[in-house]
Structure 1
C-alpha cells in the first residue's frame, strides 16, 4: 500500500502542477518557486510531515518536499545556532541533494553530448 500511496499522491501533485501551468500564464520557474515556498510554509504549519508519513516518496520527492527539507534544516540550525542558523540551515540540509543533482547532470552531459537549441 505504501507504493500505491506514493504513486497516486506524487501523480496528483504532478497533475495539479501541469494544470496550473496549462491554465495560467505562470512560467515554469515561478511555479517551481511557488512549490518550494508552499512546501516550506506547509512544513512550518505542521501539515507536511503527516503528509510525508502517509505518502512517502510521493510527497517527499517533488519540489514541495524540497521546501520541507529547507524548513527542517533552518529550524534545526536556528535551534542550535540562533539567528545565524536562519542563513546556514537550508544550505546544510539540502547540500547532498543539490550536489548529487549537479554531479549526475554533469556526468549525463559528458555521456550524451547535449546540443544547444537554435
Structure 2
C-alpha cells in the first residue's frame, strides 16, 4: 500500500509542477512537454532520476520525465555496447515498448470512439 501512495505522491508532484507552469507562465503546453522530457534526460544522466524512480516507482516512470530518463538510459547503454551508433539507436530501442503501446492504443481508441473535430 505504501508503494501506491509513493507513486501517487511522486506523479502528483510532477503534475503539480506542470500545472504551475501552465498557470503562471506563458510557456505553451507543447514546450512544457519538451521541458519535461529534457528534464528527465538531464536528471537521468546526472544520476538523480534513478533515485526518484526507486522512491516513486510508476509515479516517476510513467510521466514524460520517465520517458526522457528511459531515452537517456537506452542511449548510454547502446553507446557502451556499440559506440557512436548507439546515440542514434539506443533511445528508440529502450522506449520501443512504450512507443508501440501508445500508437496501438491510440489507434484502437480512434476506432472505438467517435472523435469530433473542433
TM-score bracket for the superposition, by shorter chain length: over 0.9
CA-to-aligned-CA distance 1:32-89 (integer Å, 9 cap, x gap): 0000000000000000101100111111111000000000100110001100100110
Give 1:28 deviation, angstroms.
Answer: 0.6
Distance 2:97 2:13 in 1: 27
Distance 2:51 2:112 in 1: 40
Unaligned runs of 5+ in 2: none
Distance 2:99 2:71 in 1: 12
* Structure 1 residue aligned with 2:74: 73
The two structures, once aligned, show a CA RMSD in angstroms of 0.7
* Structure 2 residue aligned with 1:110: 111
What is the DSSP-based 3-state SS (H/G/I as helix, E as strand, rest coil) of the residue aligned with 1:116?
A: coil
Residue 2, structure 1, aligned to residue 13, structure 2: no
Give 1:110 deviation, angstroms.
Answer: 0.5
* Structure 2 residue aligned with 1:17: 18
What is the DSSP-based 3-state SS (H/G/I as helix, E as strand, rest coil) of the residue aligned with 1:85?
A: helix
Structure 1 residue ranges, 4+ long, deviating more than 6 angstroms after superposition:
none
Count of matched residue positions in the alignment of Structure 1 and Structure 2:
117
Distance 1:29 1:99 in 2: 21
Distance 1:56 1:91 in 2: 22
* Structure 1 residue aligned with 2:33: 32
Distance 1:60 1:100 in 2: 15
